[in-house]
């Protein structure tokens, strides 16, 4: 009469199936989210990995004294030297239109590259020299195998004539792929094959420096005050509510604040890491305050009490005994805040850090851009080759973020093992 | 000091130094108030200037958004139209899509992680989901524009659907994934706060675990979950980069997720980047949009934080 | 009424999943098999053993009280009877525990089916954050026990009457369960348990959170439920055990020290430890 198995009724079979479905829905949801993460990473890495390689083309240029005055290297027309070298390599090319295509195989920067090589190595002068120069973005697409030759010519970025020329160069060993140092050492450029991330990386570093210098002391000060000294009154409550709400204000609103107050009212220089850092500092302040308060709270009260019992003033007790113990936790919060600031884009657009920056900024008062803004700018650029650059810049950005979070996790772990 | 004398009077020197330090720290805490004040004042000030040029009713109830700058001062319609409704329409459409993606994914993940997953699985999956929250939005924007939007367009095309190359769906979906960890971690806290005694009561009567979750735990957690969904929505409304890169600039009144729409945040960026003349209605309107965005998200956050706080007190 | 509600499609005779009847240890072999029977029951929390070789018989339609100092294992034993201990991942059961001759730790046993027939009332009243009606109807709904709205309403009314709560709440069934007083909440929890017509009701110190008047009402209720249900109650109040139970089992440090008719255990205990406990020397 009594039965405790699945046969007992109660619609058990149906209910067990519902239970299984429910659990699978949970697993499915997690799986979908993680699958998205994997696909996104795979797509970005797939798009960006090619940046490691850069195509180069060898051009034989006449560096004899008739063409270049050794005393006055800068006066020579390197542009026509490169063009002549290309024409010599392909004597059969005669029509104007085809010549234009031929010249288009190398980057517009090729002439400068030749000049730089000679400036660095004047002994090259005096005869014919074969020098490697950067290939143009379209030529690079073909050399790195990203052009589908099965498509009809009109649908490709690289024409049949260009392909024929590149094939010849490849056959003769006059075209190659090398490690792309330029991506890490150049500033931005209109030419994708030349564009690099150094200027924006420096911009980000300077911006974060300002951001950290402002938000860390402010955040810690505020946290100590609120946690240890603030009287329990309406003012403290107001600050408390304020901080929680600031943490949820859209980042773009901070950009508007910066535009109107820092640029408009205070007249600080536009597009600079100084202003960018100030805006990001205000934005990350709530994060740092909240994390620092949690770190302070986790310090056993006995530390402070022991110091007070020895006659230390409350300020001494906190600065000498509580703060050092809470410091790893506070730093963790600060790093998380900095990681957030490093990835932030929208507020920087508001204060004009979207400028086209070729030179690497060296001070917080020079116009600069930041890595995520550079990503935004490149993502918007029409040239196909910029897609690769964008993805590669994202990989660099994510690498920095992972490193920062790793440090935060290690710090947190160290903190946890202490008590 | 003679032996046997106990000095317990105040010494003045360390006191004023301590007080100074405390005052400096209090000032640091006050910065939080100053920031809010700065936001409100700057936005309100510029908005008042804007409303001197464009009547508030045109702004709030206008059906057309096209903030042209005049080429000649006497040109007809030189100031353009500043009706914010198409922008609100676009913002809400994309946020709704994002929430439609994020709510089921985030909630079911949270339920699974808090009620079913082993501690080991939780220790791995939770940080993995948190990665989603740590990725900069510009990365999501790039992925949405480069991969998701063309994919949706292609898929839609196979079913004979006309999909804009910058569809609300692509931006909304990607934004939804971005919000999953937010919903999942907030709901996780809320679900864990439901007392075990309620689960025991239900399981003790022979309810299965899923019945217990659906009929007892979730109803009990509902206020807290509503709060976390509200916070997530506010996050979606304020998001800029994904929509800027994947949703486009077309201001139109449309509820079709396959259309291109624009949002408040996108327009703020569009109005303030590139050439601009200060104090023109076009530039000032960005601040009016900013104020609208700030007020909208602030109200949602305040309500959400209240709900969550009240809910916590209920079970403490 | 309860018999019609529980569908038992498979009769005992051709029931497949049932294990061979365990041979009862010789000590109790002279007794006929009792309703709930524990043989060499051991419970472990990880490495720590909480119950040691418990042999205990619980008779049908009686109130059995489990007493003993806190931490003695009485609650652990109670929770073993409807396998609530399964919810604790590190908890492990070893031995035999049968209800009406069926081994409940058999792999074929479904805890949902078990718990549907072995109900439990907890220490703190824990009504669901739902209306009074919904609280009582909960079990009926999940187990699909009623086929119509009126049947459900009848069943809820019957349960509330069984729990002696009907007169107090019949005009406010739609109000939240936790708007009731503590004692009423506990009786609501009992009504909720009774609604699904279990064979056994386990009570884990059901009155410890209640005032004396509410306690008296719940005790009266327990006494009136005795004729229909087998009740096992954990209590730390010896007076309560004496008032409401017919049999009492005394646990100490994870071992069952003594079990017998309540009258005997309290007036003339066989063991010295029991004597010490009921006179207040340990505990």
CA angle C194, C165, C151 (to 5 degrees): 55
A14 to chain C, closest Cα gap in Å = 11
Of B204, B215, B220, the CB nearest to C115: B204
Minimal Cβ distance to C100: which of A2, A7, A15: A2
Is B136–A401 a contact, with Cβ atoms under 8 angstroms apart? Answer: yes
Distance from CA of A222 to the nearest CA of B (A): 4
Q: In what order do the strands lie in the sheet with C255-261?
A: C118-121, C200-204, C230-234, C63-67, C247-252, C255-261
In a domain, C273, yes or no: yes
Asked if residue C56 belongs to a domain, the reply is: yes
Chain A neighbors of C17, CB-CB under 8 A: 5, 7
- Contact yes or no for A8 and C104 at CB 8 A: no
Sign of the Cα pseudo-torsion (A17, A23, A28, A29, in order):
positive
CB B170 within 8 A of CB B156: no
The whole-number pLDDT of residue C15 equals: 37
Does B116 lie at the interface with A, CB-CB under 8 angstroms? yes
Interface B-C: count of C-beta contacts within 8 A: 67
Report yes or no on C70 lying in a domain: yes
Tell me how close the Cα of B165 comes to any Cα of chain C, in angstroms.
Answer: 48
Report the residue from A2, A12, A16 with minimal CB separation from C99.
A2
Chain A residues with CB under 8 Å of B46 CB are 260
Enter the tokens of residue B174: 């990607």
Q: What is the pLDDT of residue C253?
A: 92
Nearest-CB residue to C142 (from B197, B211, B219): B211
Q: Are C103 and C40 in contact (CB under 8 A)?
A: no
Tell me which chain B residues have a C-beta less than 8 angstroms from the C-beta of A246. Answer: 32, 35-36
Q: How far apart are CA B271 and CA B251, in angstroms?
A: 13
B284 touches chain A (CB under 8 A): no
Per-residue CA distances from A409 to A1, A87, A290, A335, B269 (Å)? 58, 59, 17, 10, 35
Cβ-in-10-Å burial (0-12, 13-18, 19+) of A391 comes to: buried
pLDDT at B217: 94
Nearest CA in chain C to A19: C112
Question: What is the token pair recorded at A204?
Answer: 């980000």
What are the pLDDT digits (tens) for C125-165? Answer: 999 999 999 999 999 999 999 889 999 999 999 999 999 89
Q: Can you tell me which residue has the tokens 């900013």?
A: B290
In chain C, the residue whose alpha carbon lies closest to the alpha carbon of B222 is C129
- The residues of chain B scoring below 70 in pLDDT are 1-5, 7-14, 68-79, 274-279, 315-316
Does domain A198-415 fall under CATH 1.10.3720.10? My reply is yes
Domain range for C191 is: 3-278
Interface of A with C in 2-41 (CB under 8 A): 2-12, 15-16
The tokens of C177 are what?
A: 């369960």
Parts of chain A belonging to CATH 1.10.3720.10: 198-415
Q: Least CB-CB distance to A4: which of C7, C113, C143?
A: C113
pLDDT 10s digits, C256-272: 999 999 999 999 999 99
pLDDT at B12: 57
Asked if B111 lies within 8 A of A225 by C-beta distance, the reply is no
pLDDT at residue C17 is higher than 50: no
**Which uninterrupted H or E stretch holds C58?**
strand C48-58
What is the CATH classification number for the domain harbouring C148?
A: 3.40.50.300
Residue A252, token pair as written in the block:
């773009």
Q: Which of B138, B144, B246, B171 is nearest to A369 (CA)?
A: B138
CA A164, distance to chain mean position in Å, is 37
Q: Which residue has the tokens 């234009």?
A: A100
**What is the dihedral sign for C-alpha A10, A12, A18, A20?**
positive
| A90 CB-contact burial (10 Å; exposed 0-12 / middle 13-18 / buried 19+) | middle
CB contact under 8 A, B215 and C138: yes
Q: Give the largest CA-CA distance in chain A.
A: 113
What is the pLDDT at residue A211? 97
pLDDT digits (tens, 9 = 90+) for C203-227: 999 999 889 999 999 999 999 999 9
Question: C-chain residues within 8 Å CB-CB of A11?
Answer: 143-144
Segment C63-89 mean pLDDT: 92
Strand partners, C66: C234, C249
Q: C52 vs chain B: nearest CA distance in angstroms?
A: 24
Q: Which phi and psi (to 5°) does residue B9 adopt?
A: -80, 160
Closest partner CB to B177 (pick from A23, A33, A265):
A33
**The Cα angle at residue C147 between residues C145 and C151, in degrees rounded to 5:** 90
Asked, for residue C243, whether it belongs to a domain, the answer is yes
Q: Are C119 and C197 in contact (CB under 8 A)?
A: no
Q: Which residues of chain B have a CB within 8 Å of the CB of A254?
A: 39
Phi–psi pair at B123, nearest 5 degrees: -65, -25
The answer to the question of residue C283 being in a domain is no
**How confident is the model at residue B14, as a pLDDT?**
63
- Mutation for A interface: C2, C3, C4, C6, most A CBs within 10 A: C6
Distance from CA of B202 to the nearest CA of C (A): 8
Residue of B nearest to A398 (CA): B135
Tell me which DSSP letter residue A248 carries.
T
Distance from CA of A29 to the nearest CA of C (A): 24
Q: Looking at domain B81-315, which CATH architecture does it have?
A: Orthogonal Bundle (1.10)
| Percentage helix, strand, coil for chain C under 3-state DSSP, each rounded to 5 | 35, 25, 40
Cβ within 8 Å, pair B18-A313: yes
Rounded Cα–Cα distance for residues A109 and A121 (Å): 18
Nearest to B216 among C112, C120, C128 (CB): C128
What distance in Å separates residue C117's CA from the closest CA in chain B? 8
Listed by number, the residues of chain C in 73-112 with a beta carbon closer than 8 Å to a beta carbon of chain B are 82, 84, 87, 111-112
* Strand arrangement, sheet containing C36-45: C48-58, C36-45, C91-99, C102-103
State mean pLDDT over C187-206: 94
B206 touching C (Cβ < 8 Å): yes
Q: Chain A within 8 Å of B35 (Cβ-Cβ)?
A: yes
Whether C283 has a pLDDT exceeding 80, the answer reads no
For residue A17, list chain C residues with Cβ-Cβ distance below 8 A: none
What is the C-alpha separation between C37 and C232, in angstroms, rounded?
A: 12
Question: How many domains is chain C partitioned into structurally?
Answer: 1
β-pairing verdict for C118-121 and C200-204: parallel
| Inter-chain touch B204–C128, beta carbons under 8 Å | no
Q: How confident is the model at residue C278 (pLDDT cuts 50, 70, 90)?
A: confident
Which residue in the block uniquely carries the two structure tokens 């439990």?
C120
Chosen for mutation from C2, C4, C5, C8 (greatest number of chain A CBs closer than 10 Å) is C8
Q: What is the structure's pLDDT at A412?
A: 80
pLDDT at position B275, please?
61
Q: Which chains touch A (3 or more CB pairs under 8 A)?
A: B, C
- Residue A2 is predicted with a pLDDT of 76
Nearest chain A residue (CA) to B125? A30
Q: Touching check for B73 and chain A: CB below 8 Å?
A: no
- Tell me if residue C203 falls in helix, strand or coil: strand
Alpha helices in C58-110 (DSSP H): 74-81
With contacts defined as CB-CB under 8 Å, which chain C residues touch A8?
6, 8, 110, 113, 116-117
In angstroms, rounded to a whole number, what is the distance separating the alpha carbons of residues A206 and A326? 27
Q: What is the SS3 string spanning chain B?
A: CCCCCCCCCCCHHHHHHHHHHHHHHHHHHHHHHHHHHHHHHHHHHHHHHHHHHCCHHHHHHCCCEECCCCCCCCCCCCCCEECCHHHHHHHHHHHHHHHHHHHHHHHHHHHHHHHHCCHHHHHHHHHHHHHHHHCCHHHHHHHHHHHHHHHHHHHHHHCCCCCCCCCHHHHHHHHHHHHHHHHHHHHHHHHHHCCHHHHHHHHHCCCCHHHHHHHHHHHHHHHHHHHHHHHHHHHHHHCCHHHHHHCCCCCCCCCCCCCCCCCHHHHHHHHHCCCCCCCCHHHHHHHHHHHHHHHHHHHHHHHHHHHHHHHHHHHC
Q: What is the pLDDT of residue A120?
A: 85
Which positions of chain A have pLDDT values less than 50? 419
**What's the gap in Å between the CA of C209 and the closest CA on chain B?**
14
Give the closest-approach CA distance of C127 to chain B in angstroms: 7
Preferred mutation among A1, A5, A12 to probe C, highest tally of C CBs within 10 A: A5
Cβ(A255)–Cβ(B238) below 8 Å: no
| Whole-complex ipTM | 0.90
CB atoms C120 and B204 under 8 Å:
yes
**Shortest Cα distance from A122 to chain B (angstroms)?**
44
List the single best residue of A11, A307, A346 to mutate versus B (max B Cβ within 10 A).
A346
For residue C44, being part of any structural domain is answered with: yes
């Amino acid at each position: 009469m009594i039965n405790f198995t699945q046969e007992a009724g109660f619609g058990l079979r149906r209910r067990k199936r519902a239970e299984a479905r429910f659990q699978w829905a949970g697993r499915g949801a997690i799986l979908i989210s993680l699958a998205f993460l994997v696909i996104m990473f795979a797509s970005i890495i797939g798009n960006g990995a090619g940046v490691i390689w850069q195509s180069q083309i060898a051009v034989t240029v006449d560096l004899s004294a008739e063409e270049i005055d050794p005393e006055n290297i800068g006066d020579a027309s390197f542009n026509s030297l490169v063009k002549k070298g290309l024409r010599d390599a392909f004597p059969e090319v005669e029509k104007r239109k085809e010549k234009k295509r031929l010249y288009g195989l190398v980057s517009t920067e090729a002439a400068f590259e030749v000049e730089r090589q000679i400036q660095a190595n004047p002994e090259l002068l005096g005869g014919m020299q074969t020098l490697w120069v950067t290939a143009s973005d379209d030529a690079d697409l073909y050399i790195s195998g990203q052009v589908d030759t099965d498509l009809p010519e009109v649908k490709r970025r690289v024409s049949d004539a260009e392909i024929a020329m590149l094939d010849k160069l490849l056959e003769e060993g006059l075209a190659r792929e090398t490690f792309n140092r330029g991506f890490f050492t150049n500033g931005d450029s209109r030419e994708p094959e030349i564009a690099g991330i150094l200027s924006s990386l420096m911009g980000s570093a300077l911006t974060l420096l300002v951001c950290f210098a402002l938000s860390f002391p402010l955040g810690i000060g505020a946290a100590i005050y609120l946690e240890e000294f603030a009287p329990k009154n309406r003012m403290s409550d107001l600050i408390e509510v304020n901080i929680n709400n600031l943490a949820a204000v859209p980042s773009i609103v901070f950009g508007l604040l910066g535009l109107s107050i820092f640029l408009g009212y205070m007249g600080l220089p536009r597009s600079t890491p100084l202003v960018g850092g100030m805006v990001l500092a205000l934005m990350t302040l709530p994060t740092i305050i909240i994390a620092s308060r949690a770190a302070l709270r986790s310090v056993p009260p006995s530390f402070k009490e022991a110091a007070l019992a020895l006659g230390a003033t409350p300020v001494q007790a906190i600065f000498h005994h509580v703060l050092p113990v809470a410091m790893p936790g506070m730093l963790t919060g600060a790093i998380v805040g900095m990681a957030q600031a490093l990835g932030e884009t929208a507020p920087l657009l508001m204060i004009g850090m979207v400028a086209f920056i070729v030179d690497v900024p060296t001070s917080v008062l020079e116009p600069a851009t930041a890595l995520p803004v550079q990503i935004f700018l490149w993502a918007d650029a029409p040239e196909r080759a910029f897609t690769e650059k964008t993805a590669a810049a994202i990989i660099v950005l994510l690498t920095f973020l992972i490193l920062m979070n790793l440090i935060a996790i290690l710090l947190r772990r160290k903190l946890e093992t202490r008590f | 000091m003679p032996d046997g004398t106990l000095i317990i009077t105040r010494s003045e020197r360390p006191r004023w130094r301590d007080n100074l330090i405390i005052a400096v720290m209090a000032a640091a805490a006050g910065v939080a108030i100053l920031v809010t004040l700065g936001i409100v004042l700057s936005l309100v000030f510029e908005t008042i200037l804007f409303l001197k040029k464009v009547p508030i009713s045109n702004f709030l109830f206008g059906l057309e958004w096209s903030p042209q700058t005049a080429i000649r001062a006497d040109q007809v319609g030189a100031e353009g139209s500043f009706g914010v409704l198409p922008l609100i329409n676009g913002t809400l459409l994309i946020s709704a899509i994002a929430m439609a993606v994020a709510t089921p994914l985030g909630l079911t993940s949270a339920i699974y992680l808090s009620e079913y997953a082993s501690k080991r699985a939780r220790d791995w999956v939770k940080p993995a989901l948190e990665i989603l929250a740590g990725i900069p939005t510009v990365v999501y924007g790039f992925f949405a524009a480069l991969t998701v939007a063309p994919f949706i367009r292609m898929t839609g095309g196979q079913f004979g659907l006309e999909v804009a190359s910058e569809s609300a769906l692509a931006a909304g979906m990607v934004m939804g994934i971005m919000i999953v960890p937010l919903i999942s971690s907030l709901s996780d806290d809320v679900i864990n706060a439901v007392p075990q005694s309620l689960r025991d009561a239900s399981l003790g009567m022979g309810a299965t675990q899923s019945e217990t979750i659906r009929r007892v735990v979730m109803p009990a957690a509902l206020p807290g979950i509503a709060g976390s969904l509200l916070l997530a929505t506010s996050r979606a409304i304020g998001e800029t980069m994904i929509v800027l890169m994947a949703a486009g600039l077309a201001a139109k009144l449309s509820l079709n997720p396959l259309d291109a729409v624009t949002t408040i945040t996108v327009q703020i960026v569009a109005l303030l980047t590139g050439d601009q003349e200060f104090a023109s209605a076009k530039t000032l309107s960005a601040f009016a949009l900013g104020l609208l965005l700030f007020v909208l998200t602030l109200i949602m956050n305040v309500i959400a934080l209240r709900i969550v706080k009240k809910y916590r007190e209920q079970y403490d | 009424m309860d018999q019609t509600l529980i569908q038992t499609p498979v009769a005992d005779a051709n029931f497949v999943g049932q294990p061979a009847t365990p041979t009862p240890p010789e000590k109790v072999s002279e007794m006929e098999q009792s309703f709930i029977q524990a043989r060499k029951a051991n419970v472990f929390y990880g490495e720590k053993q909480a119950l040691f070789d418990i042999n205990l018989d619980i008779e049908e339609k009686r109130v059995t009280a489990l007493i003993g100092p806190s931490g003695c294992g009485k609650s652990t034993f109670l929770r073993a009877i409807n396998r609530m201990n399964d919810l604790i991942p590190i908890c492990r059961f070893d031995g035999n525990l049968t209800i009406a001759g069926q081994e409940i730790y058999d792999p074929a046993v479904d805890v949902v089916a078990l718990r549907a027939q072995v109900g439990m009332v907890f220490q703190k009243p824990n009504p669901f954050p739902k209306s009074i009606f919904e609280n009582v109807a909960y079990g009926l709904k999940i187990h699909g026990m009623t086929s119509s709205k009126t049947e459900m309403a009848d069943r809820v009314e019957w349960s509330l009457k069984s729990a002696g709560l009907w007169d107090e709440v019949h005009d406010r069934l739609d109000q939240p369960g936790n708007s009731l007083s503590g004692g009423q909440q506990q009786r609501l929890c009992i009504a909720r348990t009774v609604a699904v017509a279990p064979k056994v009701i386990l009570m884990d110190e059901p009155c410890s959170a209640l005032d004396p008047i509410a306690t008296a009402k719940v005790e009266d209720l327990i006494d009136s439920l005795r004729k229909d249900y087998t009740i096992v109650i954990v209590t730390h109040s010896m007076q309560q055990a004496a008032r409401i139970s017919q049999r009492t089992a005394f646990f100490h440090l994870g071992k069952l020290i003594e079990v017998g008719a309540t009258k005997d255990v309290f007036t003339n205990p066989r063991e010295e430890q029991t004597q010490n406990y009921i006179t207040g020397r340990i505990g």
